[in-house]
Amino acid sequence: MHDDRTLVEARLERVLRERIRPAVHPESTPLDVEIWSTPGEPVPVTEGLAAPTRPIAPGTAWGTPWGTSWFTVTGTVPAEWSGRTVEAVLDLGFTPRTPGFQCEGLVYGSDGTPVKGLHPRNSYVRVGSPVAGGEPVRWHIEAASNPDLDAGGVPFRPTPMGDRATAGDALQYVLGHMRLAVFDETVWNLVMDLEVLGELMPELPLDGGRRWEILRAVGRALDAVDLQDVNGTAQAARDELAGVLATPAAPTAHRISAVGHAHIDSAWLWPLRETVRKVARTASNMTALLEDEPDFVFAMSQAQQYAWLKEHRPEVWAKVKKAVADGRFVPAGGMWVESDTNMPGSEAMARQFVHGKRFFLEEFGIENDEAWLPDTFGFAAGLPQIIRAAGSKRLLTQKISWSRTNRFPHHTFNWEGIDGTRIFTHFPPVDSYNCEMTGRQLAHAARNFKEKGVATRSLAPTGFGDGGGGTTREMVAKAARMHSLEGAPAVEWEAPADFFAKAEAEYPDPPVWVGELYLELHRATLTSQAGTKRGNRRSESLLTEAELWATTAAVRTGSPYPYEELDRIWKTVLLHQFHDILPGSSIAWVHREARETYARLAGELEGIIAGAQRALAGEGTRDLVFNSAPHARRGIPAGGASAQAAAAAAGGADGAGGAVVPVPREGGGYVLDNGLLRAEIDGRGLVVSAYDIAAEREAIAPGQAANLLQLHPDFPNQWDAWDVDAFYRNVGSDLTDVAELSVEGAAVRVERAFGDSRVSQLLSLPADAKRLDIDTEVDWHERERFLKLAFPLDVKADRYAAETQFGHVYRPTHQNTSWEWAKFEACNHRFLYVDEPGWGVAIVNDATYGHDVTRSVRTGADAGTTTTVRASLLRAPRYPDPETDQGVHRFRHALVPGATIGDAVREGHRANLPERRVSGTVGEVAPLVTVDNDAVVVSAVKLADDRGGDLVVRVYEAHGGRARATVRADGFAAGHAVLTDLLERPLADAERPREVEGGVVLALRPFQMVTLRLPRA
């Protein structure tokens, strides 16, 4: 037989496009349309429904950027349509772009009840099936004219559209046709039949019979269609396809668990307020689809988004609650938002699960076993322990498929964290969290699945996402045809828990991946939007202080504990850790609001801290210094305050007043020497020596200088705010020109100017610590540049430690393999640490996350190894925020030679939890909680969330070794201490901790985190 394959395939494509799809709505009549546009921000629904309107015709421009318009559409069903299925087709002016990135709307009934959302792939509203004829119809549409930031067709182009303040007022969309139409279900089903078979054919082998069987059936179906009477002949065409659609899947076919999904970024190319409405539109769509499709299951994560529905759209919330109770609308993941997991601190990462899981428990009585993070930009190595401690045991992710250098070797595996905790993890081989149920996607999932031969099933999150939208009736129809179809994977709608149970049962001993799940892409999210990152770090630190001192004051003085305030503030901070806010990849509007929010929260938290400390100190003039850090310093106990130690802090916080005075250095510059460390700053303002006097050891590599600012061009191939490509390192300049070098009090001041920017630094050495403090202020006005702060160290280190949640992770300094080479930019929290046996150097910070560490061997007689640590300070990408990072930024770093890993931990906390001075009457405030081993760090002291008054203490082993410690708390009821999960519930399988002398004895494995609940006597 002649090969006419391409002829039939081309025929199918044209006939579908030009004849069959248009025949889905064979008859239509226009609706009358009126419009009212809000003059500012969105208004309440009642106001939108009551607003005065004016007529608007198809083809009329509407909608300023970020504006809201209310359309009223009215009409009457023609009497001659009686007995037929009728729906409204409502085109707001949709473009070919994906849903969620353009105009969209929410339809309300005449009584103001939400009906469903509108987007370009879901623009219908059902009138009746069948209709009686003559029915009046009336709907209101709350339409958002959100601008398309890539409307010019050029991605990543700088645009002012990312903030209402700069977007202008040009109308964005042209109203399409609003009409009532007859819906021909037979033709629609023919479209689905042909699309499924047409998409499946190219995925089948040319030398297999199944492909040709489908091709011939499609040819016969197209012959059966009378192009002049598609509606009258559609059933005949379907009959020709019935046989090939009825052939069942092979028993060995890959099994796909489809779950309805609409990944909704809590902010990204739209502000938070718009996400509130996106959630309402999508949830309305999905509850409507659930009513029409009995097999369909939809999953939505992010407790924050459910909370928005409850607060802002109670009618939609009621529908969601009913669907959840029916088991059809599934709360997934158990986190407050789908957060970044690299940068949130230990407690913040824990609280994501505390607040997310508690919301689902309180509102729905549901607790999930899985964490649901399809789009997060890599996963920190401390996360498995946190997931387990929250009462979960599974993880779903997708983003690792975006890695550009190495292909991840598994799709189903056990992931092991830094403490040894393992969680069952699935990474869908469909390589998308926005699966559209196409033949190409499902065939790719089956081919791509790496566990063939030992496992048979994967999950496919199905629906339009990022900007929302969700699953469509077309996707459900395609899934039904592929429930069992020869040549295709077998598809079944299932909730995530059902998939995971089956996947674990068939694959009880999967391979293990140890350590972080590093995304080989989007590395610059560790640096972009420095103001947002500083706001996050400061908020985390202030929350630590606020909980500590409010708890101490409540126990010691009976002061009221600020439950509501702390709960609200935590949730706000957690929201801003969403994986496009904290990473710095959102529009200008989002980051402007984030900076404002962080400033407001800081004021509230400072008030809580000050009030608690005032209650503890009393009214008086005696000087007390409060130490919030989990380690004693300068005579002040951890979590306590001392008047006797105040003299050591005189003149400033944390030893600034006790800093040594700089003396002139031969050859220019200054020397700082406190008997522990001698630091030499040359005439360029660079640190050319940091000498550990006791160890007789130099920290700075010979002939090199630390505190070296380095500037690189930064123009990635795409994803400007997200990416830094490896070639940035090919070109760079050292900023060594100094505008001013002087002594300011006990510090050396260094001023530099470069480009359109200026840098001012203060370098100081406290009198009693082996630590060089570097305070940097940058007035940054560069574009597409990357600023680094370099420390070339005379240390031969094959690996280095970077703090992560509840511990630290080790990474190689070499590039033996492509996996190591790909980690050329990575994340740390408060410290980095490099060492040789017996001697190391820590570099701590108060606000930065991105860094790189490289090694080189020096030439000449020395032939030593230089390990260079560089902190990433600032970037200047122009998309999606063209003004990213412009303005003044402040950073605090410290170089700590001769450090142990314990010193790194301690100094990291010191830099982030500065001492506070309060005048009062008491001589000291004893710590509420004490730990007798510095390797065991207190990460939280608080009152129990159930408001029963119990004390909750969370500790972890911070050095990476075994540790035994006694945790003592003032006034707890002996004999009643219990180990709990993160939600402060007793662990069913845990022994009661051993108590001794009013304390609890713990024996911890490396990096183990433990939560203690201590009832008060």
Query: Amino acid identity, residue 687?
Result: V
Mean local confidence (pLDDT), 247-263:
97
The average pLDDT across 436-444 equals: 97
| DSSP 8-state symbol, 957 | E
Tokens of 1003: 């024996």
d(CA 108, CA 585): 33
- Kindly indicate the confidence band of residue 152, based on its pLDDT and cuts at 50, 70 and 90: confident
Alpha-carbon span 457 to 449, nearest angstrom = 9
CA distance 672 to 660: 6
Q: What is residue 647's predicted lDDT score, i.e. its pLDDT?
A: 56
pLDDT tens digits for 57-100? 999 999 999 999 999 999 999 999 999 999 999 999 999 999 99
pLDDT for position 941: 98
| Residues in contact with 684: Cβ distance below 8 Å, sequence separation at least 6, in sequence order | 669, 705, 736, 737, 738, 741
Please tell me the distance from the alpha carbon of residue 849 to that of residue 829, in angstroms, as a whole number: 6
Give the β-pairing of 994-996 and 1009-1014.
Answer: unpaired
Q: Indicate the helix (H) or strand (E) that contains 37.
A: strand 32-37
- Phi, psi for 528 (deg, rounded to 5): -55, 145
Indicate the residue type of 708. L
Provide the pLDDT for residue 652.
46
Per the CB < 8 A criterion, the answer to whether 898 and 696 are in contact is: no
pLDDT at 2: 79
Q: In 839-996, where do the E strands start and end?
A: 839-845, 850-857, 865-874, 887-897, 916-920, 924-925, 929-931, 936-943, 951-957, 963-969, 978-980, 994-996
**Could you tell me what percent of the chain has a pLDDT over 70?**
99
Q: Give the pLDDT score at 971.
A: 83
- Model confidence at 860, in pLDDT bands (50, 70, 90)? confident
CA dihedral 643, 647, 649, 650 (to 10 degrees): 120
Q: Which pLDDT band holds residue 989 (cuts at 50, 70, 90)?
A: confident
* Residues carrying an active site annotation: 375
3-class secondary-structure state, position 531: helix
State the first-to-last Cα distance of the chain, in angstroms, to the nearest integer. 90
Query: Which is nearest to 805 in space by CA: 419, 373, 354, 349?
Result: 349
For the chain, the residue count is 1017
d(CA 477, CA 493): 12
Percent of the chain with pLDDT over 90: 94
For 591, the 3-state DSSP assignment is helix
Q: In what order do the strands lie in the sheet with 924-925?
A: 916-920, 622-627, 640-642, 924-925
- Geometric angle at alpha carbon 931, from 770 and 839, rounded to 5°: 30
CA neighbor of 372 nearest in space, from 397, 353, 340: 397
For the CA atoms of 918, 921, 924, 925, the dihedral, rounded to the nearest 10 degrees, stands at -70
What does the pLDDT read at residue 312?
96
The residue ranking higher by pLDDT, 140 or 2, is 140
Indicate the residue type of 787.
L
Rounded to whole angstroms, how far apart are CA atoms 476 and 189? 12
Give me the mean pLDDT over the 847-861 stretch: 95
Predicted confidence (pLDDT) per residue in 918-955, tens digit: 999 999 999 999 999 999 999 999 999 999 999 999 99
pLDDT-derived band at 644 (thresholds 50, 70, 90) equals: confident
Q: How far apart are CA 474 and CA 495, in angstroms?
A: 19
pLDDT of the residue at 3:
86
Confidence of residue 1017 (pLDDT cuts 50, 70, 90): confident
Encode 539-569 in three state secondary structure.
HHHHHHHHHHHHHHHHHHHCCCCCHHHHHHH
Summarize pLDDT for 586-620 with one digit per residue, the tens.
999 999 999 999 999 999 999 999 999 999 999 99
- Nearest residue to 168 via CA among 99, 66, 84: 66
Residue 648: pLDDT over 80: no
Q: How confident is the model over 12-67, as pLDDT tens digits?
A: 999 999 999 999 999 999 999 999 999 999 999 999 999 999 999 999 999 999 99
HEC string of 393-452?
CEEEECHHHHCCCCCCCCCEEEEECCCCCEEEEECCCCCCCCECCCHHHHHHHHHHCCCC
pLDDT recorded at residue 151: 81
Question: Facing residues of 1013 across strands?
Answer: 952, 978
pLDDT-derived band at 656 (thresholds 50, 70, 90) equals: very low
For the ranges 201-205, 647-651, 718-722, which has the lowest average pLDDT? 647-651
Identity of the amino acid at 716 = P
pLDDT at 649: 55
Question: How large is the average pLDDT for residues 189-214?
Answer: 97
Q: Average pLDDT in the 264-278 region?
A: 98
Q: Which two tokens stand for residue 766?
A: 């406290």
More confident residue, 110 or 889: 889
Q: Return the pLDDT at 927.
A: 97
Residues in Cβ contact with 579 at an 8 Å cutoff, skipping those fewer than 6 apart: 265, 338, 339, 340, 373, 375, 376, 377
Provide the pLDDT for residue 383. Answer: 98
447-474 average pLDDT score: 98
DSSP states along 278-316: HHHHHHHHHHHHHHH-TT--EEE--HHHHHHHHHH-HHH
Predicted confidence (pLDDT) at residue 769 exceeds the cutoff of 90? yes
Taking alpha carbons only, the member of 279, 506, 514 closest to residue 410 is 514
CA distances from 604 to 307, 539, 629 (A): 22, 10, 20
Q: What tens digit of pLDDT does each residue of 873-887 get?
A: 999 999 999 999 999
Confidence of residue 912 (pLDDT cuts 50, 70, 90): very high
Which residue in 802, 666, 789 sits closest to 732, CA to CA? 789
Summarize pLDDT for 347-382 with one digit per residue, the tens: 999 999 999 999 999 999 999 999 999 999 999 999
Instruction: Tell me how far apart the alpha carbons of residues 445 and 442 are, in angstroms, rounded to a whole number.
Output: 5
Give, in order, the Cα–Cα distances in Å from 534 to each of 180, 582, 883, 889, 895: 53, 10, 17, 9, 20
Provide the 10 A C-beta neighbour count for residue 223.
12
pLDDT at 202 over 90: yes
